[in-house]
Amino acid sequence: MNKQFTWYFVYVFAVITALLPRVVFAQDIDAIKSDPNMIWGQGIGENLQAADDAAVKDLISQISVMVENNVETTISNEQSGDEAKTSVSTTGNLRVSSSVSLSNCKRLVVEEDRFVVVLRYVDRVEIDKMFDARKAKIEDLISAAETAEENTKIGDALRNYYWALKLTISIPEEHRTKMVTDDGKLITTDLRGRISTILDSVKVEVRKIENTEDANTVELAFTYQGRPVTNCDYAYFDGYDWMIASVKDGVAVTELPADAKKFMLRIEYEFQNLWKSDPMVNTILQQMPSRLPFRQWEKRVDLTQVAAVEPEMIKTNKAATKELAKEMTIDTLAACNKKEVFNQAEVIVPLIKAMEERTYDAARDLCSENGWKWFEKLVKYGNAKIIERNELQVSSFANGYLVRGIKARFSFKRNNKSFVEDLVFYIKDGLIEGINFGLEKNALDDINNHSMWDAYSRLVLVNFLENYKTAYALERLDYLNAVFSEDALIIVGNKIPQPKVAEVTAVDAESYEHNKLTKSEYMKQLERVFAKQEYVNIQFEDASVKKTNRTSERYEIIIKQHYYSATYADKGYLYLLADISNPEMPIIHVRVWDENRNNLMNYGEWVF
């Protein structure tokens, strides 16, 4: 009897032990589902992975932020008998969603005989943290936009204001109503007003029209509050299609039918092609892609009204290069006949004529062997067209001369894209030795303002950066291979792809990975990029330069880089540690790209 009782007791204990985890799990699940501070999603599948994927999808669908303009957004859990759900409700006409993922997402698993049940859940505090991070991002964007606006970088200002507006709209009403300016105005209202004011204040005037039988080349002046626009993108209708163009230092160029009397252009403010450069922006705006309308983005340009406009910034740009040329003449050419120096510019005249008439072979005798390679690359870089001849400025440089003052437009029909570039010619022994795209005005000023350095060092730095950006545009792998030291530290930044839904992580945060490459690996990577892109174009601005020590010619350069190609665009910061003791062939020891400028501050100290 005792033996039978013992076996019976063991059997009952085993059954209870087997069922107890399920009872405990059931209690835990019920507790989570009934907790108003928790948001949860449930999934059922044949195995753990399938059930977990389903649970994460359900959770994310529940916490996807459903927001609208001026509507109330609520997230609630509902329990009805054995059925439960988390719901997000809104009212209004326009509804958009922004999918998000969260860190600190926990999991409960119940394994049945034929299926697995998974519960994924997260505390509402984590959602608050996510929105706090988003609000911090909005503040950063507004700050960047204000700085850009002050410096008439209208493209940057509009982009940052607009992205800040979209991120603000993605935040639920309970958070958004607390986001106000110092004078009590809602951030959304303030941002809409700022964007409208900028668009309304941008003036577009016709500077010059060149007539041909088939088309007119129209040169435009863009100003903001009476000052030249440093950068700005726009689209214009050429009678057949919408073409994309950019403003550089107050000047832009369009090509229109010969009989056109007026045309329409639209100033870019959405910058969808740059969304992927910012993971948080991309994550949110991909889910709410509709463009917020601003009627001021359209400008109607009357071609019968030609204004004699020369933006102040172009004059300043001339002054900056002239100052360098003047110092060069005084410091290093004291015994040189000034007229002889400026006579070097005469080499440029027949070269420009060959470009204008497209009789490129006529320029062969004007170039050295190396110069001809640069020239061939130049004329093959899109549809090249000379658009402006300013007063030529000549500076002595490395046993030769640098000549500035020519602007050209490069258009790419397959992508409806065009760029305006300043051309810089390097003349040596009476022949064109090199051709570069000039630095943007503010980058040129940033270097030129280091008056404690001698003018020659500043000019070498300018020439180095102009060579660098041009080598990428003209696919000069030979130059890039030569300019990087064999043991160069090269770090490239790549955006980390969004994780699968089962990997519940904080994708709302900035997310990049940085890979160290050898010189050989980097050259192969560039070769692949050049092979598949119709064009690459780099724009520099906001240069910060310092010497590593007083006696050497090693410089640390941090410069903001806008990268454009036919299929991709991004923005970030480039760090270069370069030795420019040989002006004709500086050596790059470190090249690092990062999305955050502050991350680049200590690379030089680490390497040396």
- Starting at the edge strand found earlier in the chain, the sheet holding 587-594 runs 512-517, 484-495, 587-594, 569-579, 554-565, 536-547
226's torsion region: left (phi>0), alpha (psi -120 to 50) or beta? left
CA-to-CA distance for 580 and 439, rounded, in angstroms? 17
pLDDT band, very low/low/confident/very high, at 102 (cuts 50, 70, 90)? low
Beta bridge partners of 578: 555, 588
* Distances, alpha carbon 141 to alpha carbons 31, 188, 542, in Å: 41, 13, 17
State the DSSP code for 360.
G
Q: Is 558 helix (H, G, I), strand (E, B) or coil?
A: strand
**Whole-number Å distance between alpha carbons of 581 and 385:** 35
Which has more pLDDT, 15 or 544? 544
Over residues 101-124, mean pLDDT: 79
Residue of 454, 322, 352, 397 whose CA lies nearest to 583: 397
Domain ranges of the chain: 2-124, 129-302, 311-438, 460-608
Predicted confidence (pLDDT) at residue 572 exceeds the cutoff of 90: no
Q: What is the DSSP letter of 496?
A: P
In this prediction, what percent of the chain has a pLDDT beyond 70? 77
Tens of pLDDT, residues 471-519: 999 999 999 999 999 999 998 876 555 444 444 443 444 455 678 899 9
What pLDDT digit, counting tens, does each position of 172-201 carry? Answer: 777 788 888 888 899 999 999 999 999 999
Q: Which residues contact 453 (CB under 8 A, 6 or more apart)?
A: 547
Q: Provide the pLDDT confidence category of residue 343 given band limits of 50, 70 and 90.
A: low
Of the pLDDT bands very low, low, confident and very high (cuts 50, 70, 90), residue 125 is: confident
Residue in 512, 95, 132 with CA at minimum distance from that of residue 287: 95
Q: Determine whether 399 is exposed, middle or buried from the number of CB atoms within 10 Å of its CB (0-12, 13-18, 19+).
A: exposed
What is the band of 318 on the pLDDT scale with cuts at 50, 70, 90? very low
Over the stretch 430-443, which tens digit does the pLDDT of each residue have?
899 999 999 988 88
Better-scored residue on pLDDT, 8 or 469: 469
Return the number of other C-beta atoms located less than 10 Å from residue 26's C-beta.
Answer: 12
pLDDT attached to residue 342: 55
Task: Judge whether 39 and 86 are in contact, CB under 8 Å.
Answer: yes
Mean pLDDT throughout 81-93? Answer: 34
pLDDT at 187: 93
Lowest mean pLDDT among 323-337, 377-391, 508-522: 323-337
- When pLDDT is cut at 50, 70 and 90, the band that residue 583 belongs to is confident
Mean pLDDT of 324-334: 37
Both tokens assigned to 600: 């680049």
Residues 140, 148: Cα–Cα separation, whole Å: 12
Please state which CATH number belongs to domain 311-438: 3.10.450
> Is the pLDDT score of 85 beyond 50?
no
**Is the predicted pLDDT of residue 314 greater than 70, yes or no?**
no
Hey, what are 477's tokens?
């792998």
Residues with Cβ < 8 Å from 487, sequence gap 6 or more? 519
* pLDDT value of position 495: 55
Amino acid 544: pLDDT: 87
Residue type, 106: K
Tally the C-alpha atoms within 13 A of residue 363's C-alpha that lie toward its C-beta. 25
Determine the pLDDT at residue 579. 92
Tell me the one-letter amino acid at 400.
Answer: G
Mean pLDDT of 18-47: 73
Do the domains spanning 311-438 and 460-608 agree at the CATH topology level?
A: yes
Query: Which residue type sits at 240?
Result: Y
Q: How confident is the model at residue 17 (pLDDT cuts 50, 70, 90)?
A: very low
**Between 326 and 557, whose confidence is greater?**
557
pLDDT at res. 494? 62
In single-letter form, the type of residue at position 95 comes to R
Nearest residue to 537 (alpha-carbon basis) of 474, 464, 473: 473
pLDDT higher than 70, residue 291: yes
Question: Which DSSP string corresponds to 186-254?
Answer: BHHHHHHHHHHHHHHHEEEEEEEEEE-SSEEEEEEEEEETTEE-SEEEEEEE-SSSEEEEEEETTEEEE
Confidence of residue 259 (pLDDT cuts 50, 70, 90): confident
Look at residues 367, 390, 389 and name the one whose alpha carbon lies nearest to residue 378: 367
Domain 460-608 has CATH 3.40.50.1220: no
The pLDDT of 203-221, averaged and rounded, is 86
pLDDT reading at 111 higher than 70? yes
Compare 123 and 80 and report the one with higher pLDDT.
123
Phi, psi for 113 (deg, rounded to 5): -65, -45
